[in-house]
Amino acid sequence: MAEPGKKRVIKPLKNFPVQEYINSGHRACQGCAEVLAVRHVLKAIGPDMILAMATGCMEIISSPYPLTSWNVPWIHVAFENAAAVASGVEAGLKALRRKGRVPDKEITIVAMGGDGGTSDIGFQALSGMLERGHRVIYVCVDNEAYMNTGIQRSSSTPFGASTTTSPAGKIHPSGQTTWKKDMTAIAAAHGIPYTATACPSFYTDLAKKVQKAKSVNGPVYLHVLSVCPTGWRIPPNKAIEYGQLAVDTGVFPLYEVENGVWKLSRKPKELKPISEYFKGQGRFRHLDEKLTGYIQEQVNARWERLIKTCEATGGQPEPEAPKEA
Amino acid sequence: MGKKVGIEVSIAAAEAVGLCDVDVVAAYPITPQTHVVEHLSELVAQGELDAEFVPVESEHSAMSVCCGSAAAGARTFTATASQGLALMAEIVFIASSMRLPMVMFLSNRALSAPLSIWNDHSDAMMVRDCGWIQVFCENGQEVYDAIFHAFRVAEDPGVQLPVMINVDGFTLTHVIEPIEFWSKDMVKKYLPPFKPVHRLYPDKVVSMGAFGMPEIYAEQKKAHDHALWNSMPVILEAWDELADVTGRKYSPVELYKTEGAETLILAMGSICETASLAVDSMREEGKKVGLVRLRLWRPLPVEGLRKALAGAKDVVVLDRAISPGSANAPVTSEIRALMYHEPDRPKIHCMIAGLGGRDVTGDDVTRIVETALADTTYDYHIYGVRG
């Protein structure tokens, strides 16, 4: 668990390092923005890292024994316990370092899981890790459904998305009938020093947040929207574009919560209509005008609430909004 | 030689873990395991033990934290019971398959439903095939000594497997017994520092927990089976050296008054002390009865058991768990299987007793033997049950 009063000083990244920590040749689908998110996150952290990963797409594309794509010390144990395994690595290294059995050097412990492994089955382990104060960066790479098992709905699937277990039908014309679980707010409610949303379509913003996460003395939760062309039923070359649209329509706002202060990372002058984001996504194809209008109202309301929270906690948007990729 | 003190077995076990200079303890409270982890957290809080005590939010996370900690190369301990073991079971199987050395104190307790906090072996039998080294203890001294033995065996570079120490809930965990403590010098002599074969550290890139395609999965399982069998000589050697340090000699199968015995009782755990008293009284009555104590449940000392049981007319197995809908109970099942091809195999009786904390006295053991020998028409018998 984190010791008070220690803060690492991190030099800001001018350029992304050339060094790769997840090698090419893995089995991710074409246009996978999740593996892109992982690649960026690892580059922003650097070599002195240990990665604990949940079962899911990123694990299964990278580790068919005896092959591995990982260029960092990596462990996978099960689906729901990446946060707990990372807690154990952190506790173990802390004890060994104190006892002089490993070098007296700061190692960044990272845990990663998909939205299912984070907001559903791994929820309890994550909450435990955040509450106990382990110095771990937890990264949720959220592609908004159980893509690895074949696009089943999770609690992170947005309202209106059709998945293989929330199909649009006569009784439920919207497909998914529930709203996306707000994991970042839940993480913030644990009183942890830093939590943020990010998206690889805005990779400088993502890298900056990861860098900040690395410098924080305590648990960090990063929620990274990771566009999945296969599950969202879009062409692979559109993944970056849809990430941008998710942010600029207000569907997935970029913000951070640092020591209780909420701050927007990107505030578009005017939100684009969600119909622009829905257009071309197979998972939203069934939505009619009425349902789209209803979702638009909800997105607007949530956006307003977020702005108010930012104002109430004193957070101002970044002077320069991050540029699009 | 260390000093002898009257102490609760759970507290003594925690003291032993402390003497081993454990690095990480991750545990979730569950009766009757609590005294072990309470005392460990006290040792940490008082600065008597330099370790990370991780008070996890569930047993599932307890075992997961242990996996992470062991993978990082830290000496790792946990304790649980019954439902706790059931909840962590998924990761218990993974810990051994990933060859992560750690020690678990399992205070054996019945499984729900109905909820019962009392002792039997249904929790241990649930994870019988989890691929851990599994030891059953009879008394407090044995539990205390088992902790040092377990760390030494688990962390041996040729073993690298987790070890489960089975301690009967309440009937052993909560009793006060005279226990001879080890000195720090004894521990230093007996237990070398943990030097993991592989560990998670940025000085060397490793991938742990890759997935197995059909062309490799079976080989992995075979390798795990080999590893467990190959741990046997290390287990024996560590018991031999424990005898050098303490003067107490342990072995996988122990015999009590078996010479010339026609009937052998076979049991595991604290019930063996009761059974030995029953053997004494039956011997006094001139009955040719002896006791075979099975200490090492995994890897199963197959040859030792065959040798111990050969020549007997009847073997009465005291099973502390039930396997509903099966031909017999878990321990009997294995004993029957390993004796099946023997030329002079005894009749093997399956007697299920002491479920969910039902008391089994010395007189009960005598009656169990009498019941078994009187009626041999059944596959198994649940002793002393109504209805």
* C-alpha to C-alpha distance for B187 and B173, rounded to whole angstroms: 23
Q: Is the overall model pTM greater than 0.80, yes or no?
A: yes
According to the model, what pLDDT value does residue A323 have? 57
Confidence of residue A319 (pLDDT cuts 50, 70, 90): low
Locate the chain A residue with the closest alpha carbon to B24.
A92
Give first-to-last CA distance, chain A, whole Å.
36
How large is the greatest C-alpha to C-alpha distance in chain B, in angstroms? 68
CA distance linking residue B180 with residue A188, whole number of Å: 51
**How many other C-beta atoms can be found within 10 angstroms of the C-beta atom of residue A315?**
18
Looking at the partner chain, which of A60, A74, A81 has a beta carbon nearest the beta carbon of B64? A81
Chain A: closest CA distance from residue B88 (Å): 11
User: Tens digit of pLDDT for each residue in A265-282?
Assistant: 999 999 999 999 999 999
Q: Is the peptide bond before A103 cis (omega within 30 degrees of 0)?
A: no
The burial of B149, by beta-carbon neighbours within 10 Å (0-12 exposed, 13-18 middle, 19 or more buried), is given as buried
Mind listing the pLDDT tens digit for each residue in A281-302? 999 999 999 999 999 999 999 9
Task: Tell me what the mean pLDDT of segment A197-202 comes to.
Answer: 97
On the question of pLDDT at A1 being above 60, the answer is no
Q: Which residues contact B42 (CB under 8 A, 6 or more apart)?
A: none
Helix (H, G, I), strand (E, B) or coil at A25: coil
DSSP structure class, residue B201 = B
In one-letter notation, the amino acid at residue A223 is H
Tokens of A81: 């316990």
- Residue numbers in chain B where pLDDT is lower than 50: none
> Which architecture characterizes domain B253-382 according to CATH?
3-Layer(aba) Sandwich (3.40)
Chain B residues within an 8 Å CB radius of A84: 56, 60-61, 64-65, 68
Q: Do A63 and B207 touch (CB under 8 A)?
A: yes
Percent of chain A past pLDDT 70, that is, above it, reads: 93
Q: What whole-number distance in Å separates Cα of residue A133 and Cα of residue B271?
A: 43
Please name the fold of domain B4-246: Rossmann fold (3.40.50)
Q: Is B311 left (phi over 0), alpha (psi -120 to 50) or beta?
A: left
What is the residue-averaged pLDDT of chain A? 94
CA B77 from chain centre, in angstroms, equals 15
Are A102 and B54 inside 8 Å of each other by CB? Answer: no
Asked if A68's CB is within 8 angstroms of B23's CB, the reply is: no
Please report the pLDDT score of residue B135 as a whole number: 98
Judging contacts by C-beta atoms under 8 Å, the chain B residues touching residue A68 are 207, 210
The pLDDT value given to residue B32: 98
> What pLDDT was estimated at residue B149?
98
Q: Which residues of chain A lie closer than 8 angstroms to B200, CB-CB?
A: 50, 73, 75, 89
Question: Of B72, B204, B205, which is closest to A93 when you measure between CB atoms?
Answer: B72
Domain positions in chain B are 4-246, 253-382
Say yes or no for a CB contact (<8 Å) between A128 and B56.
Answer: yes
**Chain A neighbors of B57, CB-CB under 8 A:** 124-125, 127-128, 131
- Residue B177: helix, strand or coil by DSSP? strand
What are the angstrom distances between the C-alpha of B262 and each of A317, B129, B281, B288?
86, 32, 16, 5
Q: Give the residue among B366, B329, B38, B3 at the shortest CA–CA distance from B173.
A: B38
Predicted confidence at residue A14, as pLDDT, reads 73
- CATH pick for A33-313 out of 3.40.50.150, 3.40.50.300, 3.40.50.970, 3.30.1600.10: 3.40.50.970
ipTM over 0.95: yes
As given in the structure block, the two tokens for residue B232 are 């046997």
| CB nearest A47 (choices: B66, B72, B202) | B202
In which region does residue B29 sit, left (phi positive, over 0), alpha (psi from -120 to 50) or beta (all else)?
Answer: beta
Looking at the predicted structure, is the pLDDT value of residue A3 above 70?
A: no
- In eight-state DSSP terms, residue A152 is B
| Whole-number Å distance between alpha carbons of A252 and A243 | 9
B317 forms bridges with which residues in the sheet? Answer: B266, B350
Please tell me the distance from the alpha carbon of residue A211 to that of residue A11, in angstroms, as a whole number: 8
Query: How far apart (Å, rounded) are the C-alpha atoms in residues B331 and B7?
Result: 31
In chain B, what residues touch A138 (CB-CB under 8 Å)? none
Nearest to A154 by CA among A143, A145, A163, A162: A145
DSSP 8-state symbol, A236: G
Using a CB-CB cut-off of 8 Å, the residues of chain B touching A90 are 68
pLDDT in tens, B296-320: 999 999 999 999 999 999 999 999 9
Contact criterion met (CB < 8 Å) for A81 and B61: yes
Instruction: Decide: B46 and B18 in contact? Cβ < 8 Å.
Output: no
**Chain B CB contacts of A127 below 8 Å:** 57
Task: Summarize pLDDT for A101-155 with one digit per residue, the tens.
Answer: 999 999 999 999 999 999 999 999 999 999 999 999 999 999 999 999 999 999 9
DSSP label at residue B175: -
> Mind listing the pLDDT tens digit for each residue in B341-376?
999 899 999 999 999 999 999 999 999 999 999 987
pLDDT at A234 over 60: yes
Q: What is the pLDDT of residue B377?
A: 86
CA distance A289 to A300: 16
In degrees rounded to 5, what are phi and psi of residue B39?
Answer: -70, -35
Residues of A in contact with B210 (CB under 8 A): 63-68, 76
CA nearest to B88 within chain A: A81
Q: What pLDDT is recorded for position B71?
A: 98
Task: Using a CB–CB cutoff of 8 Å, tell me whether A112 touches chain B.
Answer: no
Distance to chain B for A130, nearest Cα, Å: 11
DSSP state of B357: G
Give which of B235, B263, B335, B333 is closest to B294, Cα–Cα. B335
| Cβ of residue A34 closer than 8 Å to a chain B Cβ | no
Euclidean distance between CA atoms B237 and B215, whole angstroms: 36
A70 → chain B, closest CA residue: B207
